């Protein structure tokens, strides 16, 4: 373990791709290049608020003190000699509409450090000041959004969901003006910088912008770079060939499908699935106006910016990600003589998602694949609308079902256990007519559960291992944010620690597994958010 300020960074993106020769840090178009060199803008009084011990250990870094050289690097006040900081150029579709050049408007990558797993990890500061891609913005981030990004990045990792990571959260000592709901009520808020970490932050939009500007050489160079560094087995025999690009897109589709299947089975709603927010590595990226399903509502989104069309609602995520992958496939057509060769990759997404989603849902209810796959699909398929009708809390429902499964196998009444389940997990009255389907389903489930060869104890252990007790509910994040804004970091640290063990009982933190309180259903930040941060 070593101090961050003594670490030696490498800079493959800068070294191997095309950089903007201008050092003019003003909003502007940057045609012809992959990135712009840019230095972070110093802040008034950086202070380390929270550190990811796990990510730090992966990078071989010791935890920095609240103030000092490492914290200044994590805030952007210092740049080490081995760093070559840059902002990437990309475009994208936002809410289905082509937006042109976007780029890293407030994210600045510092370089790469080796991990214990043999990979190199890119460290990027979010909120580190303006770049040529900032458009009319200031390049800063506020504490509320930075707390949410830090916590969710690490929480998702510990849930087993493919994700970018977070290393640190630093307060800046500066105020940042933000209009949280774009309603004319802008306020000064405390600023912060998150150091987030990933093998790569390349997005679908990096390729889309190069297609839009007909920069085929840059498009090929970026594709080859990503394959060389992050999909090395694909290009080992015949690099720079149409077959490699087709195989690469197929793997991107497979990884993305697995990621979305994870989302749909833990209740995560990304909130803003624009193509510039889609990772080329199939990782969850850009934690903005996300949320977690509480009542199971496929049509729910936490993002007020999406309230017109609900394009990014929970139930729309699988289809939207397929649409986004289609835009990526379009961006790669200059590299493949026959674009029809790319179509099977998209079919791979559909097949992978359907298979993974089904298998994950079976595991959540303690079942393994049987000889009657159609019956199992019908059982799983009827569960989701029953959950919606009964307004059950998704996390609580599956967790309580894990404890009820052995009792069903022991012959206890499915009707009585259904009442207990609804009392524990539903936001509606247990006797509500809308709960009838769920009661019926539980009886069918009990009959199917008895066909499992495993012991009741093994079934329960398997369910508890995939059904988290703790997730980052929006109201919990909001409580931690409000405390941090008032100078109390204890709730933030407690939540961070609890979410490292989401499948453990942790009885001393039972309150963090509770059903959403009534006040949180309408409170800003607890129920709804916007893209403003």
DSSP string, 198-255: ES---BHHHHHHHHHTT-HHHHHHHHHHHHHHHSTTTTSSS-SSHHHHHHHHHHHHHH
pLDDT at residue 126, rounded to an integer: 98
- Tell me how far apart the alpha carbons of residues 370 and 221 are, in angstroms, rounded to a whole number: 47
109, β-bridge pairs:
86, 124
Do residues 166 and 55 lie in contact, with contact meaning Cβ atoms separated by under 8 Å?
yes
- Tell me how far apart the alpha carbons of residues 211 and 334 are, in angstroms, rounded to a whole number: 8
The verdict on whether 179 is a catalytic residue reads: no
- Tell me how far apart the alpha carbons of residues 76 and 106 are, in angstroms, rounded to a whole number: 12
Tell me the Cα Rg of the chain: 24
- Tell me how far apart the alpha carbons of residues 20 and 414 are, in angstroms, rounded to a whole number: 66
CA 310 to chain centre: 19
179 conformational bin, left if phi > 0, alpha if psi -120 to 50, beta if neither:
beta
Do residues 159 and 267 lie in contact, with contact meaning Cβ atoms separated by under 8 Å?
no
Angle ∠(499,503,252) on CA atoms, nearest 5: 80
- Tell me how far apart the alpha carbons of residues 405 and 442 are, in angstroms, rounded to a whole number: 10
- Tell me how far apart the alpha carbons of residues 356 and 180 are, in angstroms, rounded to a whole number: 37
Do residues 445 and 362 lie in contact, with contact meaning Cβ atoms separated by under 8 Å?
no
Q: Which two tokens stand for residue 173?
A: 């000592």
Name the pTM for this structure.
Answer: 0.97
- Tell me how far apart the alpha carbons of residues 277 and 275 are, in angstroms, rounded to a whole number: 5
Do residues 418 and 392 lie in contact, with contact meaning Cβ atoms separated by under 8 Å?
no
pLDDT at residue 179, rounded to an integer: 85
Compute the 3-state secondary structure of the chain and give helix, strand, coil in percent, each to the nearest 5.
45, 15, 40
Do residues 325 and 254 lie in contact, with contact meaning Cβ atoms separated by under 8 Å?
no
- Tell me how far apart the alpha carbons of residues 517 and 460 are, in angstroms, rounded to a whole number: 28
138 is in an annotated binding site: yes
Which of 144, 141, 140, 175 has the alpha carbon at shortest distance from 523? 144
126 is in an annotated binding site: yes
488 is in an annotated binding site: no
Which of 278, 189, 194, 180 has the alpha carbon at shortest distance from 528? 180
Which of 489, 91, 526 has the alpha carbon at shortest distance from 324? 91
Q: What is the pLDDT along the chain (533 residues), one digit of tens a residue?
A: 999 999 999 999 999 999 999 999 999 999 999 999 999 999 999 999 999 999 999 999 999 999 999 999 999 999 999 999 999 999 999 999 999 999 999 999 999 999 998 999 999 999 999 999 999 899 999 999 999 999 999 999 999 999 999 999 999 999 999 987 777 888 999 999 999 999 999 999 999 999 999 999 999 999 999 999 999 999 766 667 899 999 999 999 999 999 999 999 999 999 999 999 999 999 999 999 999 999 999 999 999 999 999 999 999 999 999 999 999 999 999 999 999 999 999 999 999 999 999 999 999 999 998 778 899 999 999 999 999 999 999 999 999 999 999 999 999 999 999 999 999 999 998 788 889 999 999 999 999 999 999 999 999 999 999 999 999 999 999 999 999 999 999 999 999 999 999 999 999 999 999 999 999 998 888 988 877 65
Do residues 192 and 142 lie in contact, with contact meaning Cβ atoms separated by under 8 Å?
yes
Which helix (DSSP H) or strand (DSSP E) does residue 74 occupy?
Answer: helix 69-75
Do residues 87 and 36 lie in contact, with contact meaning Cβ atoms separated by under 8 Å?
yes
164, β-bridge pairs:
none
Angle ∠(394,468,356) on CA atoms, nearest 5: 75
CA distances from 131 to 17, 123, 189 (A): 18, 17, 21
462 is in an annotated binding site: no
SS (H, E, C) 330-350: HHCHHHCCCHHHHHHHHHHHH
pLDDT at residue 531, rounded to an integer: 74
The DSSP 8-state label assigned to residue 90 in this structure reads -
- Tell me how far apart the alpha carbons of residues 242 and 245 are, in angstroms, rounded to a whole number: 5
443 is in an annotated binding site: no
Catalytic-labelled residue, pool 104, 224, 276, 376? 276
How far the first Cα of the chain sits from its last, in Å, is 34
203 is in an annotated binding site: yes
- Report the length, in residues, of the chain: 533
SS3 111: strand
Residues 6 or more apart whose CB falls under 8 angstroms from that of 329 comprise 249, 339, 342, 343, 345, 346
């Amino acid at each position: 373990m070593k101090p961050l300020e003594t670490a030696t960074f490498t800079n493959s993106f800068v070294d191997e791709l095309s950089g903007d020769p201008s050092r003019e840090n003003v909003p502007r178009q940057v045609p012809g290049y992959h990135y712009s060199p840019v230095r972070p803008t110093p802040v008034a009084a950086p202070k380390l608020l929270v550190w990811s011990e796990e990510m730090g250990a992966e990078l071989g870094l010791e935890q920095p003190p609240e103030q000092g050289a490492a914290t200044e690097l994590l805030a952007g006040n210092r740049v080490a000699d081995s760093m070559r900081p840059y902002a990437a150029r990309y475009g994208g579709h936002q809410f289905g509409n082509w937006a042109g050049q976007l780029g890293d408007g407030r994210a600045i990558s510092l370089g790469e450090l080796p991990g214990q797993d043999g990979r190199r990890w890119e460290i990027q500061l979010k909120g580190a000041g303006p770049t040529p891609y900032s458009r009319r913005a200031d390049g800063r981030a506020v504490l509320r959004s930075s707390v949410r990004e830090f916590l969710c990045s690490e929480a998702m990792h510990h849930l087993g969901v493919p994700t970018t990571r977070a290393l640190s959260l630093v307060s800046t000592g500066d105020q940042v003006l933000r209009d949280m709901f774009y309603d004319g009520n802008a306020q000064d808020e405390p600023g912060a910088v998150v150091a987030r970490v990933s093998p790569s932050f390349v997005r679908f939009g990096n390729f889309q912008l190069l297609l839009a500007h007909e920069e085929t050489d840059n498009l090929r160079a970026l594709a080859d770079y990503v394959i060389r560094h992050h999909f090395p087995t694909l290009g080992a025999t015949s690099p720079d060939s149409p077959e490699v690009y087709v195989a690469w897109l197929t793997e991107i589709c497979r990884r993305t499908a697995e990621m979305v299947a994870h989302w749909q089975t833990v209740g995560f709603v990304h909130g803003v699935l624009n193509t510039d927010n889609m990772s080329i590595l199939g990782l969850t990226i850009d934690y903005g106006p996300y949320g977690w399903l509480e009542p199971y509502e496929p049509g729910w989104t936490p993002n007020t910016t999406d309230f017109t069309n609900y394009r990014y609602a929970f139930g729309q995520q699988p289809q939207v990600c397929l649409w986004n992958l289609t835009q990526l496939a379009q961006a790669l057509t200059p590299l493949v003589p026959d674009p029809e060769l790319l179509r099977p990759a998209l079919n791979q997404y559909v097949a992978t998602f359907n298979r993974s989603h089904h298998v994950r849902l079976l595991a959540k209810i303690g079942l393994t694949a049987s000889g009657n796959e159609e019956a199992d699909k019908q059982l799983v398929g009827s569960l989701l609308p029953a959950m919606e009708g009964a307004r059950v809390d998704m996390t609580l429902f599956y967790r309580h079902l894990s404890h009820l499964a052995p009792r069903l196998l022991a012959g206890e009444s499915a009707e009585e256990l259904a009442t207990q389940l609804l009392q524990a997990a539903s936001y509606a009255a247990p006797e509500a007519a809308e709960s009838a389907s769920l009661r019926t389903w539980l009886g069918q489930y009990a009959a199917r559960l008895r066909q499992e060869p495993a012991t009741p104890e093994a079934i329960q252990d398997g369910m508890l291992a995939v059904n988290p007790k703790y997730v980052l509910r929006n109201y919990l994040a909001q409580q931690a944010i409000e405390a941090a804004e008032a100078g109390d970091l204890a709730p933030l640290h407690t939540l961070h620690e609890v979410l490292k063990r989401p499948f453990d009982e942790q009885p001393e933190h039972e309150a963090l597994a509770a059903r959403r309180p009534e006040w949180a259903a309408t409170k800003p930040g607890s129920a709804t958010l916007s893209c403003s941060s």
